[in-house]
Amino acid sequence: MRKGCGLKFLLISLLAVLPGVVSAADLEALAKSPSWQALLHYPVQGGDSYVDDSRFFLNHRGHLDPVAELRATIAAVAEDKQTICRFPDRYLWLKKHTLMPHWDLSHCDDYQQWRQGLNIDRVVLVFASSFLNSPSSMYGHTFLRLDPAGERQQSAFLSYALNFGASIPPNENGMLYAYRGLFGGYPGLFTMQPYYEKIQEYTRLENQDMWEYELNLNSEEIDRLLAHTWALRDINFAYYFFDENCSFRLLELLEVARPGVDLSSPFEYAAMPVYTVRQLVTAGMVDDVAFRASRYRELSALLETMSAKERALVLTLADDPGQQSSKEFVAMDPQRQAHVIKAAYRYLRYRSNKQQRSPQTAKNSMALLRASKNAVALDKVAITTPSRSDAGHDTSLLGISGGMLDDQAFTDLEWRISYHDALDGKAGYPKGASLTMGELTLRWQEAEDVDLASFVPVAIRSLSPRDDFFSPLSWQVSGGVERLFDAPNQPLVSQINGGAGGSWRHLGGLAYSLLSARFEYNDEARESWRLAPGL
């Protein structure tokens, strides 16, 4: 009782010295405002806070009750001015709503040192395109690039990357990663690192293109975003692959930066990176878009300008830079020599991207680098910019089709949750790749009821063309249940199938050959478990 009375007296005393007079009713209304609830990461559509870390709240019911958290915040600041150093975002909010005296944050040494060191005056949303061979990047990835003011802004290599991701133990098992990513087995954290490390991670190691969307945040909005980032340092969220992921958390940050904008509510159940990018474009928050090609795309563009003879020399020099003295190389035009040396150097670096470089590889790389510096100036090789990822087709699909089977008409109704298959438009999606999840097909036959024809939780196919320079593995995997309509009693069977092989460019398209296997369980068959090879 004494504690409650003391808190009540403290609140009354504090409200008496505030710049404006705030009644209890007004305080409750402010606590339920979208801007305060955005600071606490309450869902726009209602519910408990997304934050799963008690350290983030000053009241034990703060994750359930925004009114209690606002009262606790006011009381904590009145009792100890250092509280605003821990939550500068809340202080800015309180001051804007005349719930705090007009102090400043000059006494917050750690925050001031961090904030002045950043000196950010531009924010860019970065979308790294999808990459099927990495489970965490199958749908792509988004993060924020924070650009410093002044001359340093001219080079993105001096910027910072603000990223939200799952905290995954080293050497985590792939199946365990998938399970925990789907069902919230990892804590999610915001981290900051130099932007050039992200460039290396995506464009060089993972061969992902990057799209950079410049956001039109003003200086006050950037202050709010960074103050909130400071309050979230080392704070844990539950990480879920489909909804509470990197893209969803960034939308929440931007809702804090620009109060009143609703970005996250459409993504209560799934937040695919490409959808969240479209949301920002639709909300009018994007001023400009730039494209950063992967090392693979840059090298491919360079090789496409070369003759078969020049391409053969690239392979030769990558293995033995001393072949620059060969008759074939010496006889070439100096400009073409420079292109061949550059391509050989880049190909050698590409080939050793994910490997520990041997002394011989390091020696060859240095020799080609020196040769490229002594070569004539190069004409810039044009790189074809692909369609923007946010300009591609929508990812959900509802379809209807029909046909005849054994002289009996049927109609299929298909629903796909996501994402892209081989029959969809290719603009904005990686060529030769398809990834579908949650594909459900119902079939109606004459004189029959509606039956479940198939349900495929996941189906992936990656067809990456091979040539003299690149030799990626093409592969596919899918699993689910399907009805065998051409079998007696039309049983519903469980199946998993997969395959691997190669793909090649041919006649302007893509030809592929995959060895495959299908593992099936059918309790109506003579042998319930069956394994079948395929091609």
- Helix, strand or coil, per DSSP, at residue 322: helix
For 217, other C-beta atoms within 10 Å of its C-beta total 21
Q: Classify residue 527 by burial, with Cβ atoms within 10 Å: 0-12, 13-18, 19+.
A: exposed
What are the beta bridge partners of residue 502?
513
How big is the chain, counted in residues? 535
Count Cα neighbours of 492 within 13 Å in the Cβ-side half-sphere.
11
In the three-class reduction of DSSP (H, G, I as helix; E, B as strand; rest coil), residue 233 is classed as coil
For helices 308-319 and 359-374, the axis angle rounded to 10 degrees is 130
- pTM of the entire structure? 0.85
pLDDT of residue 178: 66
Helices 219-231, 246-257: inter-axial angle, 10-degree rounding: 130
Q: Quick one: tokens of 218?
A: 């003003």
- C-alpha 492/C-alpha 481 separation (Å) is 7
- In angstroms, the CA 501 to CA 7 distance is 70
Residues lower than pLDDT 70 in the chain: 1-22, 132-137, 151-154, 172-184, 354
Model pLDDT for residues 371-422, shown as the tens digit of each residue: 888 777 777 788 888 888 888 888 889 999 999 988 889 999 999 988 888 8
Phi, psi of 99, rounded to the nearest 5 degrees: -105, 5
- The whole-number pLDDT of residue 10 equals 44
CA distance 520 to 41: 45
> Are the CB atoms for 280 and 254 separated by under 8 Å?
yes
- What one-character-per-residue DSSP string does 20-80 give? S---HHHHHHHHTSHHHHHHTT--TTSSS-SB--GGG-SSTTTTT-HHHHHHHHHHHHHH-
What does each C-alpha distance from 156 to 97, 152, 292, 429, 478 come to in angstroms? 36, 8, 11, 25, 40
Any idea what DSSP says for residue 119? -
- The pLDDT value recorded for residue 135 is 57
Residue 385 to residue 428: CA distance in whole angstroms? 11
CA distances from 302 to 319, 381, 383 (A): 18, 6, 8
What pLDDT was estimated at residue 20? 47
Output helix, strand, coil percentages for the chain, rounded to the nearest 5: 40, 25, 35
Number of Cβ atoms within 10 Å of the Cβ of 46: 8
Q: What pLDDT does 6 receive? A: 45
Calculate the CA dihedral of residues 42, 168, 439, 503 and round it to 10 degrees: 140
Contact (CB, 8 A) for 248 and 267: yes
